[in-house]
């Protein structure tokens, strides 16, 4: 989980970056991303209380007060705040105290007049507050990197399960179930595992959620998924040839993707233009005559959302900076051959990068 002192420093840094400052001496925030980032308020998504609001009041000195209802899951007890107010909403003996979505509002706004939630669309400060926090989140702090590492170790377990177990006759859903179990066992708790678990015959299907489709020998099967741990997630991809016998055309796609990833890696460093990274990846494909078979981004940022800045794309105007956690994910989709995508995750440093993902990329 996130560190208490670093949460406080992020709250103080937020105030130092706001211009103009709010008229009040506090910010009232409700976006779950902001509550996680600034106070380690993480709501277990596999819980009865998932999806219901809480509020964080952040003073100029970094002091934080959290308001949430009593049915929130135990994960919220890990929040790093100076004060906490738990609002009785439902005790299992009497009817709930009104609609759950507004169970905490009276405590936040007892006068029921003039309520401002500064990160909610419609508030005059919302754009500034949301944009400022989004920019802050690009440079990952040590506690964030630690949580990301936990997510990535779980993804590695899932990818390893795929390499060892995917075979003809399984359905995509059966593969998902096996990967999900491996990831949850690695995390040590139930977790959200989402992404692409899809046979790709070519450009008509470049990914997608798992279905009852049965895997056939020779299919190219894309495993591109994330595991959410305390709100943070990595994002790894490997593509398997079902049955373990790639043909020459499939091997060529793999070789080109590996070359493209290596070309992109050479450009990863603080101050590098995202467009330069994208072009390095695409040039490998273009020089091989398959540039048009690479239709998507070459990578993107990761953290509490996915994807997020910076975006390594054809029309990028962004620059990499130290502390970014980004992906590279070259892919090719050729009719009558199949689709392939591979992906690693990287921490940008002043002189280059540290690769954070350690899973095996292999067709078999």
Q: What is the 3-state secondary structure (H, E, C) of the chain?
A: CCCHHHHHHHHHHHHHHCCCCCCCCEEEECCHHHHHHHHCCCCCCCCCCCCCCCEEEEECCCCEEEEEECCCCHHHHHCCCCEEEEECCCCCCCCCCCCHHHCCHHHHCCCCCCCCCCCCCCCCCHHHHHHHHHHHHHCCCHHHHHHHHHHHHHHHHHHHHHHHHCCCCCEHHHHHHHHHHHHHHHHCCCCEEEEEEEECCECCECCCCCCCCECCCCCEEEEEEEEEECCEECCEEEEEECCCCCCHHHHHHHHHHHHHHHHHHCCCCCCCEHHHHHHHHHHHHHHCCCHHHCCCCCEEECCCCCCEEEEECCCCCCECCCCCEEEECCEEEECCCEEEECEEEEEECCCCEEECCCCCCCCC
Query: Can you name the CATH fold of 142-355?
Result: Creatine Amidinohydrolase (3.90.230)
pLDDT tens for residues 181-231?
999 999 999 999 999 999 999 999 999 999 999 999 999 999 999 999 999
pLDDT tens for residues 16-53?
999 988 888 999 999 999 999 999 999 999 998 888 88
pLDDT tens for residues 64-114?
999 999 999 999 999 999 999 999 999 899 999 889 988 898 888 877 788
Could you state, in order of their start, the residue ranges of all structural domains in the chain?
A: 4-137, 142-355
- Confidence at residue 7, expressed as pLDDT on a 0 to 100 scale: 98
- Confidence at residue 238, expressed as pLDDT on a 0 to 100 scale: 98
Tell me the HSE value of 177 on the side-chain side, using a 13 A CA sphere: 7
CA triple 111-49-55, angle to 5 deg: 35
Q: Are 250 and 338 in contact (CB under 8 A)?
A: yes
Q: Which CATH class is domain 4-137?
A: alpha beta
Tokens at 30, concatenated: 């409700």
Q: What percent of the chain has pLDDT over 70?
A: 100
Least confident of 92-96, 112-116, 123-127, 323-327: 112-116
> Whole-angstrom Cα distance, residue 146 to residue 132?
23
* Residue 245 neighbours by CB distance under 10 Å: 11
- Confidence at residue 341, expressed as pLDDT on a 0 to 100 scale: 98
Going by pLDDT thresholds of 50, 70 and 90, the confidence category of residue 266 is: very high
Q: Are 257 and 341 in contact (CB under 8 A)?
A: yes
Q: Are 178 and 215 in contact (CB under 8 A)?
A: no
- Confidence at residue 235, expressed as pLDDT on a 0 to 100 scale: 98
Q: Is the pLDDT of residue 363 over 90?
A: yes
């Amino acid at each position: 989980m996130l560190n208490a002192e670093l949460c406080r420093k992020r709250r103080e840094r937020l105030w130092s970056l706001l211009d103009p400052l709010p008229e009040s001496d506090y910010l009232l925030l409700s976006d779950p991303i902001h509550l996680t980032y600034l106070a380690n308020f993480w709501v277990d998504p596999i819980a009865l209380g998932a999806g219901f609001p809480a509020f964080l009041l952040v003073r100029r000195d970094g002091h934080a007060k959290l308001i949430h209802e009593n049915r929130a899951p135990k994960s919220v007890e890990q929040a790093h705040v100076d004060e906490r107010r738990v609002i009785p909403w439902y005790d299992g003996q009497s009817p709930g105290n009104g609609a759950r979505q507004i169970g905490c509002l009276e405590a936040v706004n007892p006068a029921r007049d003039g309520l401002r939630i500064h990160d909610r669309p419609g508030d005059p400060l919302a754009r500034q507050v949301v944009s400022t926090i989004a920019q802050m989140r690009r440079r990952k702090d040590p506690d964030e990197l630690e949580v990301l590492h936990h997510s990535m170790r779980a993804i590695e377990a899932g990818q390893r399960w795929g390499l060892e177990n995917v075979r003809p006759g399984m359905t995509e859903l059966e593969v998902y179930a096996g990967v999900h179990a491996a990831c949850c066992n690695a995390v040590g708790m139930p977790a959200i595992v989402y992404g692409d678990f899809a046979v790709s015959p070519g450009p008509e299907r470049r990914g997608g959620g798992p279905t009852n489709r049965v895997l056939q020998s020779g299919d190219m099967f894309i495993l591109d998924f994330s595991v959410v741990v305390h709100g943070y997630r990595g994002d790894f991809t490997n593509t398997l040839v079902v049955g373990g016998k790639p043909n020459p055309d499939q091997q060529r796609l793999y070789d080109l993707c590996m070359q493209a990833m290596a070309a992109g890696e050479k450009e990863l460093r603080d101050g590098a233009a995202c467009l330069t990274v994208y072009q390095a990846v695409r040039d490998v494909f273009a020089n091989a005559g398959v540039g048009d078979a690479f239709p998507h981004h070459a990578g993107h940022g990761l953290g509490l959302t996915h994807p997020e800045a910076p975006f390594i794309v054809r029309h990028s105007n962004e620059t990499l900076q130290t502390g970014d956690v980004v992906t590279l994910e070259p892919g090719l989709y050729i009719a009558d051959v199949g689709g392939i995508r591979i992906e690693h995750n990287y921490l940008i440093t002043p002189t280059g990068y540290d690769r954070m993902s350690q899973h095996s990329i292999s067709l078999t």
